[in-house]
Amino acid sequence: MLSVQSGLFRFLLLILITFAASISFMTEIKANNYSVFVSNGITREINQFFKVNKNKYSKIFILVDENTLKHCYPQLVANVPAFADAEIIEIESGEENKNIEVCVQIWSTLSEYSADRQSLFVNIGGGVIGDMGGFIASTFKRGIGFINIPTTLLSQVDASVGGKLGIDLNHLKNEIGVFNNPLAVFVDPAFLNTLEERQVVSGFAEMIKHALISDADYWKQIKKVDFSNLENLTKLIDTSIKIKNKVVLADPFEKNMRKTLNFGHTIGHAIETHFLEQENQAPLLHGEAIAVGMICEAYLSNKVSGLSGKELKEITTFILSVYKPVKIKENNYSRFLELMQHDKKNEKGKINFSLLSAIGKCKINAGATADLIKESLNYYSEQIKSK
Ligand SMILES: NC(=O)c1ccc[n+]([C@@H]2O[C@H](COP(=O)([O-])OP(=O)(O)OC[C@H]3O[C@@H](n4cnc5c(N)ncnc54)[C@H](O)[C@@H]3O)[C@@H](O)[C@H]2O)c1
Ligand SMILES: [Zn+2]
C-alpha cells in the first residue's frame, strides 16, 4: 500500500513540477517606490497595472521609434486593451535624436493633444526612448506619470533602475537631465528576438560587469550564456536588475557604492568617445567599448587592488570569447588619458577607478598612474594578438 501511495505521490509530484516549469517566469523587483516586473509574457503584468489603476488616466501617450513601432508595439497593442486608444508619438531612432529639439516637438505634441496632469506617458524602446521619454514626462506640466517598457538588453538590465533621465547637449552625453522614477517598468526578453545581435551582445557587457563587481556565483552563470535562445536570458536579466537595484538603493546619488557600477567604464568611455571622434572609423557600441575597458581595468585590478593573476586570465579569456577584438593604437594613448581626466568620478585631478579585488568584489576610488593605464592598454592589445 505504502509503495502504491509513494508511487502516486511521485506521479503527482512529477505533474506538479512539469506544471510549474510550464508556468512562465515572473518576478517583481521592488525599486525606489516602483516595481520592475520581469516576465516571459509581460502583457499580463501590464494589464494588471491598468486594472489596479482603472480609470486613473485621462489619456495615454506612447513614445516609440520606427523600430519599436514595427517590432514591439503591435504585440503590445494586440494584448493590452488600455493601449487601444493611446496616441502614438514616433521619433527617429538613434542617439543623435536624444536632444532638446526632439523634446520640444514632443512637448508641443502633448500640448496640442491636450495632455494634462492625469495623462500617462509610455516609453516603448531602448535607452534613448527611456531616457528622453522619462525626461519629457518628468518636466511636462511639472511632471506626469510614465511607465517604461525597455526593449533592448542594455535598457532592460541597466536603465530599468536608477532613475537617471535626460538628453544630450551638443556632443555631451546626458548633460541635461533629472533623477526621477517611473510608475513601473515591464521587462520581457521576448522583445530581444528582433534586436540586432550586435546590440544584444553589447548590452550583455553590463551583465558581465554586474557579476564581476558583486556576485561570483552569478559570474559562473554568466560564463554559460547561450545567445541562441534569448528567452533563456530571463533569469540572468532578473539577477542583473536585482544587483543594480541593490546598489542604487544603497547609494541613489552616487556618493560611494554606486561608483562600483563604473567598473570598466573609465577606460571604456574614453575608448568609446575616441572612436566617436574618428570620422574614418565606425563607432563602437557602448558595451563593446566597456568590454575593452573591463579587460584593461581587470589588469589594473591585478596590479593595484589584489585581483589574482588567475582571475585576470579568466576574465580576459571569457570577454575575448564574446567580443570581437578592437584595434587600439599606441599613438592614441595620450588622447585616451586626456579623456579620462574628464571622467565624472575624478576628484582633485586624480583619475579614479572602481577596481576588483576578486571576482565579485569591487573597491571604489582606486588610483592608477598614467604609465600603468598605458600598460593596461598594451595588455589588451597583446591579448587580442595572441588569441
Ligand atoms: N538611464 C540609465 O540609467 C541608462 C543606462 C544605460 C544607458 N542609458 C542610455 O541608453 C542609451 C542607449 O540605449 P540602447 O543601447 O538601448 O540604444 P537605443 O535606444 O538607441 O536602441 C538601439 C537600437 O535598437 C533599436 N531597437 C530597440 N528595441 C528594439 C527591438 N526590440 N527590436 C529591434 N530593434 C530595436 C532602436 O530603434 C535603436 O535603433 C544611451 O543614450 C544611454 O545614455 C541610460
Ligand atoms: Zn555602461
Encode pLDDT of 219-262 as tens digits.
Answer: 999 999 999 988 789 999 999 999 999 999 999 888 999 999 99
Query: Domain tally for the chain?
Result: 2
User: Which ligand ends up closest to the CA of 187?
Assistant: 1
Give me the pLDDT at residue 21, please.
Answer: 45
In this predicted model, what pLDDT tens digit does every residue of 2-21 receive, in sequence order?
Answer: 444 566 666 665 555 544 44
Helix (H, G, I), strand (E, B) or coil at 177: strand
Give all strands of the β-sheet with 120-125 in edge-to-edge order: 26-30, 35-39, 184-187, 145-150, 120-125, 60-65, 87-91
- Answer yes or no: is 114 within a domain: yes
> What is the whole-number distance in angstroms between the Cα of residue 205 and the centre of ligand 2?
8
The predicted model scores a pTM of 0.93
CA-wise closest residue to 369 among 381, 382, 352, 345: 352
- Answer yes or no: is 16 within a domain: no
- Answer yes or no: is 92 within a domain: yes
Question: Do both 140 and 60 map to the same domain?
Answer: yes
Q: By mean pLDDT, which of 101-110, 176-185, 246-255 is the weakest?
A: 246-255
> What is the whole-number distance in angstroms between the Cα of residue 378 and the centre of ligand 1?
31
> What is the whole-number distance in angstroms between the Cα of residue 309 and the centre of ligand 2?
25
Q: Which atom of ligand 1 is nearest to the CA of 66?
A: 37
pLDDT band at 140 (very low <50, low <70, confident <90, very high): very high
CA atoms 231, 232, 235, 236: torsion sign = negative
Nearest protein CA to atom 8 of ligand 1, as residue: 127
Percent of residues, the chain, with pLDDT higher than 70? 92
Cell numbers 493633444 correspond to 113
Question: Do both 169 and 273 map to the same domain?
Answer: no
User: Which ligand ends up closest to the CA of 67?
Assistant: 1
Question: Do both 273 and 336 map to the same domain?
Answer: yes
Question: Do both 286 and 189 map to the same domain?
Answer: no
Determine the residue type at 360: G
Cβ(186)–Cβ(234) below 8 Å: no
Question: Do both 75 and 182 map to the same domain?
Answer: yes
Question: Do both 155 and 302 map to the same domain?
Answer: no
Q: Which atom of ligand 1 is nearest to the CA of 94?
A: 20
Question: Do both 142 and 219 map to the same domain?
Answer: no
Question: Do both 306 and 366 map to the same domain?
Answer: yes
Nearest protein CA to atom 5 of ligand 1, as residue: 159
Q: Domain range holding 316?
A: 214-225+251-385
Ligand 1 probe mutation, 97, 136, 149, 154, most atoms within 8 A of CB = 154
- Answer yes or no: is 199 within a domain: no
Residue 22, pLDDT above cutoff 50: no
Please enumerate in sequence order all residues whose Cβ is within 8 A of that of 360, keeping only pairs 6 or more positions apart, or say none: 211, 212, 213, 214, 215, 216, 217, 218, 219
- Answer yes or no: is 377 within a domain: yes
Ligand 1 probe mutation, 64, 67, 178, most atoms within 8 A of CB = 67
User: 337: domain CATH number?
Assistant: 1.20.1090.10
- Answer yes or no: is 46 within a domain: yes
- Answer yes or no: is 231 within a domain: no
Give me the pLDDT at residue 10, please.
Answer: 66
Pocket flag, ligand 1, residue 65 (CB < 6 Å): yes
Question: Do both 257 and 131 map to the same domain?
Answer: no
CA-wise closest residue to 108 among 125, 89, 123: 89
User: 78: domain CATH number?
Assistant: 3.40.50.1970
Question: What letter does residue 336 receive in the DSSP assignment?
Answer: H
Dist. CA 125–CA 195, nearest whole Å: 11
Q: By mean pLDDT, which of 99-113, 213-227, 320-334, 339-353 is the weakest?
A: 339-353
User: Which ligand ends up closest to the CA of 158?
Assistant: 1
Averaged confidence pLDDT in the chain: 93
Question: Do both 83 and 189 map to the same domain?
Answer: yes
Percent of residues, the chain, with pLDDT higher than 90? 84
In this predicted model, what pLDDT tens digit does every residue of 284-307 receive, in sequence order?
Answer: 999 999 999 999 999 999 999 999
Question: Do both 300 and 375 map to the same domain?
Answer: yes
Q: What is the mean pLDDT of residues 200-223?
A: 98
Question: Do both 31 and 112 map to the same domain?
Answer: yes
Dist. CA 263–CA 285, nearest whole Å: 17
Cβ burial of 234 (10 Å; 0-12, 13-18, 19+) is buried
Q: By mean pLDDT, which of 84-98, 221-235, 302-316, 335-349 is the weakest?
A: 335-349
Residue 23, pLDDT above cutoff 70: no
- Answer yes or no: is 343 within a domain: yes
